Chain A
Amino acid sequence: MAGKGRGVAAFTFNIEALGIGRGSMPEARVGPTPLFPNTDFKPVPLKAGEDEDYMLALKQEMRGTMQRLPHNIKPQTNKAEVEKYTERYLKQTQMDDEEWAPDWNLFPKELMPQKKKPRAKPGIKKKTVKISRKDTENILSKLEELAKKDEGNPEKSDDETEKKTGNKDEEEEIEAEEYEEEDIEEDNDYIESYFDNGEDFAPDSDENMDGEATY
């Protein structure tokens, strides 16, 4: 076995049996085949005739119309920085096209565009935020209540706690206002006390700089 694997053309059989005689082995190939190899046979010309011409015209017309239909969706971010003169006309022709109003009975509901949302967005957002804030307040108050219940006298009757909650509601409102103020501050993203104008550090660095400069 050892000798067999190394031989260059050492087939384990007589290659003449395959019909490959001496000198009829194909030439060794060097390198990959060319990308556009020469073809021995040239392609036959295309059919030409009235039918073909008409189909060609149909094809090109179809392509043209399909690109103008609203079904052809353009990516949103292809606005050139400089508006071209032609673009004005192109836009106009597209405006002429009727809007595509599909029958939504035939489509899944989730594909319905929600156009009204963007306009109403600010309002909705505020609402949701407020609701969530109220929720958190409620939770906070409840937690507080529970905490008070725990630390205080658990023997107290339910009535009293109810009264207390009545008071607390008022407190909460006040708290809520405070809360909002805090929020506004935080919206600013700066906390006043944290403002650093760099004065604290400047003297030292200045000295250092001067020191270095003197050399």
Chain B
Amino acid sequence: MGAPSTMSEGTTQEPTALKRIPHDLAVALDPEAHDAHDRQWTPLKIIIWSAISLLGGLSWVMLAVVRGETVNAIWFVFAAICTYLIGYRFYSKFIEKHIVRPDDRRATPAEYKADGKDFAATDRRVLFGHHFAAIAGAGPLVGPVLAAQMGYLPGTIWIIVGVVLAGAVQDYLILHFSMRRGGRSLGQMARDELGVIGGTAALIATLVIMVIIVAILALVVTNALAESPWGVFSVGMTIPIALFMGCYLRFFRPGKITEISIIGFVLLIAAIVGGGMVNGTEWGQTYLLLDKVTIAWGIIIYGFIAAILPVWLLLAPRDYLSTFMKIGTIGMLAVAIVIIRPEINVPAVSGFATTGTGPVVAGTLFPFLFVTIACGALSGFHALIASGTTPKLIQKERQTRFIGYGGMLMESLVAIMALVAALSIDRGIYFAMNASPALTGGTVQGAVAFVNGLGLTGVNLTPSMLTDMATNVGEESIVSRTGGAPTLAVGLSHIMQQLVGGTSMMSFWYHFAIMFEALFILTAVDAGTRVARFMLQDSLGNFFPKFKNTSWRPGAWAATAIMVAAWGAVLLMGVTDPLGGINTLFPLFGIANQLLAAIALAVCMAIVAKRGLFKYLWVVALPLGFASVVTISASFLKIFSTTPGIGYFAQNRAFSEALAAGETSFGTAPSVLAMEAVVRNTMVQGVLSIVFVVLAIIVILTAIQATWNAYRKNSSATSEDDAVQSQTYAPAGFIMTPPEKVLQAQWDALPAEKKIKVTGH
């Protein structure tokens, strides 16, 4: 095994050598029995699906048409879940039948390359959780919060419809295609399908995008921890806790992961409670009340050290904690929303959707809504995960629908809940928290004047609302706490305190939420730096062969330092930006993520075309077209717009001219130094936008060319690995269908010595 992948120019005809019953029992369901079960609409099935459709329809009517004074949060949850169920049952099955065409007679890499370590068949339900934990992070929690300024409806529609038609399709296809290629990465698949130019552009784009994504995630956590002794203490304590866990697993009780995760979780809660005590002390106020720049430097230094330390010491244990917190908190929030059912008092579509003058993120609904909410609807970053670990762990081919498509639906549900949490807080408070300090002056008075001056109906902010909320959540101030994380934390604490603890518990819930987001982000920062470092070393190795050896310490440290310097520079730029940081940089994050999605979908399109499935090409072309239009037009606006609030170069010109005219303050920049910073920042951001869009256009064009060539040649080639006979069986979805139950029962009854047939080594 482990032979280099072969480009077999075979056809997609069913490999006839594969047997459905290789030995004692069938390894795949009889296709006819399976289809018959799918087509058989029993009265019970009809009733269930009618009920789901009716409830979903009713929920959408409540959200989109009725629009009373307020709308109940439960309709968001119902609209989402019912739409997901319908999308999963009908659309993903359509894709499975016509494009993916899984064949359970074929062994998966986990079977034919089995090594008991990296390639190991994993129970589908466990792998679903595993995959979900790897794809869902801070992204789906932050984007929807920022997009809430446009009203609740645009974000809701994009998250729910986008995931069904685009995000989940991308994850599903990439996962399946990578699995059919022995777990090959997105970069390798791009080279195979798009050739050297497209493949190289995809690789560079991935590297640059990774830097941007890490930088902006770090910016979110910096904004959440600045001026917050409590947050600094509790998040800072995660480092010693993780080190302790790492040593425990290494030296004391290897492999006892659940045990140490529970101990770690208890310590984490203690750190949150301890943070509250530290917050009250003079010591805490003196040493832990840090400004943004200090925190940013802290994260940069931390990021470098964390990325060169061995995995067992910091990354692996924190990953366990993060998984634990993720599943727990998301479950808790779901239960709380269903029980509390908060009323939401926000217009369906706000004026900012059309004027593009929203203080949170600049720009009109099209295209900026679709880049502000990336994760949760369509996230290109998932393509890296879906072509990483997960395809090497899948037991049977038919399971990719549940894990790939289903896993993304779960992330989308998280995004909907984050949106609900952000919408449930008072709108005045929402804008006071998310408007940049350049607009509010960072003071309560300034924030009140700014928010009330926006002229929003039903919004009447008073200073005491802001100071009371700050006291309740245990912070100095909640004015201009941009980045989305603090807003989500206020929303979560607002919902949770109604369930547990009342107002006195709000500060605990707030810092619990901050801790939970910081954990994800720090893990993503550390892991992202490592992955980027390996990619850089791989590329540098083409010129300096020594860099290829990833165990060579000086090379590893130098490559790590370069990557940390790259994202650190963007982070510092965001932190010190006189224009506010998040509102200028966040669109770059979304654009980067969606461009990666366009690249992933372009690869999928080329694969589908080469297999000759032109009749169903629209399944991929539709989301690809949409992602391309959105990201390219957003990039063009960022590059060419003459409105300084939107176009980077327009902003650059405005400030340059002011400087040339000898002015000492301009717009929100109070000094010449600040004005020079704006000129520098906008230039960097503008150049990055150009790099992204050029790379993405190259990739998309090469994909279109590959598709066209395939069409002309009437191709039916495949770059898949050769089919290997499977010897095992497992059901496909979360719940077994009746035919699956019958077959599984037969396998369960089979004597153990006949069960395991391993072909790998």
Q: Is the A/B pair a real complex?
A: no
